[in-house]
Structure 1
Amino acid sequence: MTKKGIFSGIVFLGFGLYFLLQQYHVQFTDGLYTWPTLVLILGIGFIAQAYKQKDYEFILPGTILTGIGIHFHVVHKFELFQDHAGVFLLLVSIGLLLTYVKTGSGFMPGLLFLMAATLLLFFDKLTHWAAAKGHDLSIVGNFWPLFFVALGLYFLFVRGKK
């Protein structure tokens, strides 16, 4: 099998089964025939390509697409899953950290994305806890987007020149 065969094979097989099952009205679960299923198939194709063919640059897009597909399938079915921007940063961090495991690069951005995702996902709980302790975190809530901008500029112009 060629290097590109894994990704293409899984995507064509997955899409073919998707449309075949849809055509014959086979229903395993609610919401099977929606765009998140197609995104999930693409993500699985990228992950298979990454690990089977040692094309580790496909880990990040595979993780993000697979995570998005799973997220949109389960977000309204389980209370554990939040429909929140922090989830997408969490997926990016997981992808970067998985890439680091295989390549040795991406640890610091993965860790920073993990910290940002954690902050976003739990910021409401943190502000409620701080308010109960008599602290006001509203100033942080107003300025954290500027922190993201500054961090992005740092990675683009300062760290990118090293």
Structure 2
Amino acid sequence: MKKQTTFSGIVLVGLGVYFLANQLHLPLLRLFQDWPALLVIFGIAFIAQAYSAREYQYIFPGIVLFGFGLHFFLASWFQRWPNHVGMFFLIIAIAFFFSSRKTKTGLGQSIFFFAFAFILMFSERFSHLFHIVETGISSVWKFWPFGLIIVGVYILWRKRK
């Protein structure tokens, strides 16, 4: 980090509010009394540092920390919030997406993690499709040595530059 003033300032203010909330036990500050608040504080600090100092490589860790902290908050507050491992992959996909908008890398990873999160979160609804894919793969699996032979022949016979 070249200029850490934004990051340091947000971390110090956030930690001050966190420790003050733990000492005073005020109902208004109850939100800041749990450990996910630390993830949110550091996530916000990374995001603010990324945009204020144009150090866009900090967007990804900022969104991951903020997203994980927010997820843990919402999972503890709302019974209906999806507390599923797929949510973590969704947060990572969002982080890759926002990071790719500024760094011009990571869009493929974003799409991959989004698809993976979708599959994990909704796999119970598509279990009959997985059975079809499984039987298709098991019948094709017998012939995987042919794939090795084809790739080997291609490597041997392709034109070398």
Q: Is the TM-score greater than 0.5?
A: yes
**2 CA distance for matches of 1:61 and 1:138?**
35
Q: Which residue of 2 aligns with 1:122?
A: 122
Q: Tell me the CA shift for residue 110 of structure 1.
A: 0.9
Q: Which residue of 1 aligns with 2:45?
A: 45
Q: Is the 8 A contact 2:44 2:66 kept in 1?
A: yes
Instruction: List per-residue Cα deviations over 1:15-55 (Å, max 9, x = no partner).
Output: 01111232122222655311001111011101111111111
Counterpart residue identity of residue 3, structure 2:
K
**2 CA distance for matches of 1:6 and 1:49?**
6
Q: Which residue of 1 aligns with 2:131?
A: 136
Q: Which residue of 1 aligns with 2:63?
A: 63
Give 4+ residue runs of structure 1 displaced > 6 Å after superposition.
none
TM superposition score normalised by structure 2: 0.75
Counterpart residue identity of residue 84, structure 2:
H
TM superposition score normalised by structure 1: 0.74
Unaligned runs of 5+ in 2: 136-161
Q: Tell me the CA shift for residue 77 of structure 1.
A: 2.8
Q: Tell me the CA shift for residue 92 of structure 1.
A: 0.8
Q: Tell me the CA shift for residue 10 of structure 1.
A: 0.3
Q: Which has the larger radius of gyration?
A: 2
**2 CA distance for matches of 1:137 and 1:80?**
31
1:3 aligns with 2:6: no
**2 CA distance for matches of 1:101 and 1:120?**
25
Q: Tell me the CA shift for residue 117 of structure 1.
A: 0.7
Counterpart residue identity of residue 119, structure 2:
L
Q: 1:125 to 1:107 in 2, by over 3 A?
A: same
**2 CA distance for matches of 1:137 and 1:9?**
55
**1 CA distance for matches of 2:71 and 2:117?**
15
Q: Which residue of 2 aligns with 1:17?
A: 17
Q: 1:24 to 1:4 in 2, by over 3 A?
A: same
State the SS of the aligned residue for 2:69.
helix
Q: Which residue of 1 aligns with 2:139?
A: none
Counterpart residue identity of residue 61, structure 1:
P
Q: 1:77 to 1:24 in 2, by over 3 A?
A: closer
Counterpart residue identity of residue 131, structure 2:
D
Between Structure 1 and Structure 2, how many residues are aligned? 134
Counterpart residue identity of residue 42, structure 1:
F
Unaligned runs of 5+ in 1: 141-162
